[in-house]
Each structure stands twice: as C-alpha cells, then as structure tokens.
Structure 1
Amino acid sequence: MEPLRIDIVSDVVCPWCYIGKRRLEAALASPEAAGLPPVQISWHPFQLNPDLPAEGIDRKAYLEEKFGGPERAAEIYERVRAAGRTAGLELNIDGITRQPNTLAAHTLIAFAQQDGGDGSAIKERLLQAYFIQNRFIGDLDELAAIAREAGLDAEAARRFIDDPARRSAVAQADQEARQMGINGVPFFIFNRKLAVSGAQEPATLVGAMRQAVEQA
C-alpha cells in the first residue's frame, strides 16, 4: 500500500500550527483513521514574520506593532490558549520575551529531513521550546542544543544552519509556498491532491485524508 503523503506548511512561532499538529496526531490515532495507509509527513517552511532581524525583536515591541498593544494581544491569545487546552497543550504565551526570526529554525527542520529523514521530532522540540519553555529559538547555540535533545548531531546541525546556501534554499521554499497562494498556516496537503487550511478538528482531517486516499 502506498503511503499517505502529508505535506504541512507551518511556522514554529504559530500557536495554531502547534494546535494543528496535535489535532493531526489525534486524527491519525482515532478509530476513524483505521484502514488508512501509513503516513509520510513532510514539514515545509512558512515565516509569519520574514522581515524580522536575525536577532529577533523585543516581544512587547512585536505585540505593539502586530496587534496595537498587549491588551488586544491578551484578548486574542486567551482564545488561543483555550483552543490549545482542547488539544492537550498549556501554551505559556505570556512567558515569551523575544520574538525570533524563524529562518534558522526552519533550516534546522530541513537538516532533520535531508535524505528522507523525519522532521516531526525536531518540529515538536522547536514548538515546545518556544511555546512551553520560552527559549529563544532564533539563537544558533539554542538550536544546536535543541538538535542534540532530539538525538541529532548538534555540530552537523550547526554547520548546516550556518550555511548561507542552506538558509537561502529554505527562504526560497517559503516564497514558493506564498506563490502557491498559501497565506495562512497551518496548511495541510494530502497526497498532493487535497488541501485543508487551518487547525481543523481531527474529524475534518480524517475526512480529508480518506478523500485523498480514495482519489489516489
């Protein structure tokens, strides 16, 4: 049986992307998913804030620019936290002090996925580092440590991330996603045939997967 290919376009500083990852996992573990082929997941970069400097910016300044201030951001993020709880996540959004540029983090995912590798473990580590542990995932030393925690070669990961050509390839992939018309994440593509936008409920994702398999 051919595997069910799942391409996921997302960012590592997007809370809905973390929620969407959990909902996909719940969908795949549900009884309704019984009989589906084994899945092959690939993660693709999308930077919510591609113009941020490499060193990131102060989180308060970021909220001022994006939402008009912390009060409005608090309203929005309370809804996000509530949605996270339904997916088993306690998002520590208030603990974030610095907003990173995520190009380097996406390049770490590309490192994990080279030669057909699985990027899901490092994706989880990055989301957890940012939203639960409030680590600054724009820092090369931090990313090397996260790579080590995920069982990867930290020094090889560091060299890969630090390679301008590797970062350029990731930036190009980001641009290609936008050229496809993707302007919001998470964005799921099943078997390159059927797309679902947003952190949809598990039942919706299972339905999309079944439809994609039937169309194969």
Structure 2
Amino acid sequence: MNVTIDIASDLVCPWCFVGKRRLAQAVALVQASHPESRFQFNWLPYFLNPNTAPEGEPYRAFLEAKFGSSAAIDKMQSDVAAAGHEAGVDFDFARIVTRPNTLRAHRLVYRAQSIGHRPATIEALVERLFVAHFQCGEDIGDVTTLADIAAACGDIKKDVADYLASSEGEKPVRSLADKVTALGVSGVPFFIIQRRLSISGAQSGEVLAAAIIEALQ
C-alpha cells in the first residue's frame, strides 16, 4: 500500500525539524502494523518570513525582535530543545549566527525532487539542511554551503552551484509556496496525507501514525 504525504515546512523552523523526526517515528509505527506500506514524501516550501533579505539577517537580533526579551527567547529555546531531545534532535542554537533567507534551500529541495533523485537521497538532503542550520550553525542561504551539502548527499557540486547562482527554480518554488498558503496553511509543519487528511503542527509520532492509518481506511 502506497502512502503519499505532502509536507509543508520551512528549513529554519525548529518545530519542522522536530516534526520531521516525529514523522519518521510515525512511519515506523505504521510499518510495524502494516508492513506492506510504502511511503512517498513530497516536500513543499513555506516561508515563515518571506521578506527576509537575500543575505539573511542576524539570528539573535531576529529573535529579540520577535520575542521581545532574552527571557522569552530562553523559554522558547528550552521548550523546543526539550521536544527535540525527545525526538532525537539536539539543537545547538548558540551556534546559529545567521537566520537565512530560505529560498535557495527550498530551490535545492525542489531541484532534487523535480529531477527525480531517489527518495532516500531527498530525505538525506532535507535532514542535512536541518542539521546544518540547527546543529552546525551553517548558513543555508549561502550558495557554496548549499552546494557542499548537496555534494555530500551525492549530487554534483558544480551543477548545484550553477543552478543556485541562477534564478532557475525560483518561480515554481514561489508558486508552490503560494499554493500552500492558498490551502489555508498558516503555520508549519503541515502534513497532508493521501491528499485527503491534513494535520497541523509537530504532533507526536503516535498522533501522526493514527492519522496515517485513518487516511488509509
């Protein structure tokens, strides 16, 4: 049985990283009871801050403007870190210097999907992008950084660098993001299972598994 899940997320959203790991837990739960199930993920772009400058912005200053105080920032990061630890993600917020514009990163994922990379390769790419930002403090808005990440996942570095240095993929990625918003999505992660059942937020693996099984019935 084939299961298609569309996942709207932004690569600078910590809850999207948690949601990705919880989705993996859900898949394992579903496959334990339905071993014949096969999963296809489609990653959809979403921009938490579409007006971010192309070169990004200082991470701490962004947080201060959004949350208003160091205490509020510490509380937010503590909550996310606790959820992440439970899901197998160890956030290292202190390493993040730049909050990037994620258009290039979304274009990289779009390219991998559109040229038909294997699902495991796309999965590795998305995982590595989250790890780069939230655990390594790398700038995933930078062409060279993204090309290195893609190469580590088996792509050709020069091809990726040339692609990202151009405007190729920008229009379809922006169009996809607009379509996601038109569906009424106002927060991520957002999961659409079998194109018929949607679930919002970084729900637990058990909740996601139950939703997947419901969508299959």
1:35-55 deviations in Å (ceiling 9; x for gaps): 152011110100111101010
Offset, 1:165: 3.8
Count of matched residue positions in the alignment of Structure 1 and Structure 2? 213
CA–CA distance in 2 between the matches of 1:97 and 1:74? Answer: 16
The equivalent residue for 2:142 is: 139
Residue number in structure 2 paired with 1:86: 86
Using the TM superposition, give the Cα deviation of residue 153 of structure 1 relative to its aligned residue in structure 2, in angstroms: 1.4
| Deviation (angstroms), 1:66 | 1.3
Question: 1:173-199: per-residue Cα shift (whole Å, max 9, x none)?
Answer: 111111111010000010000001001
Q: Which runs of 5+ in 2 are unaligned?
A: none
Could you list the structure 1 runs, at least 4 aligned residues long, displaced by more than 4 angstroms after superposition: none
Whether the 8 Å contact between 1:107 and 1:160 is mirrored in structure 2 is no
In the other structure, the counterpart of 1:103 is 103
Question: Secondary structure, in 3 states, of the residue corresponding to 1:30?
Answer: helix
The offset of 1:33, in angstroms, is: 4.4
Q: What's 1:74 paired with?
A: 74
8 Å contact kept, 1:60–1:70? no
1:58-82 residue CA offsets vs partner (Å, 9 max, x unmatched): 1122112211133311111110001
- Aligned match of 1:29: 28
AA at the equivalent of 2:131: Q
Aligned to 1:14: 13
Partner of residue 53, structure 1: 53
Q: Point out where structure 1 has 5 or more consecutive residues left out of the alignment.
A: none
In 2, Cα distance between the equivalents of 1:108 and 1:204?
30
Structure 1 residue 32 displacement after superposition: 6.7
State the superposition RMSD in angstroms: 1.4
> Aligned residue for 1:203?
206
TM-score, normalised by the number of residues in structure 2: 0.93
Give the whole-Å Cα distance in 2 for the aligned partners of 1:76 and 1:137.
22
Any idea what SS the aligned residue of 2:191 has? strand
In 2, Cα distance between equivalents of 1:192 and 1:115: 22
Percent identity over the alignment is 38
Contact 2:31 2:37 in 1 (8 A): no
Instruction: Check the 8 A contact 1:101/1:138 in 2, yes or no.
Output: yes
Deviation at 1:34, TM superposition (A): 2.3
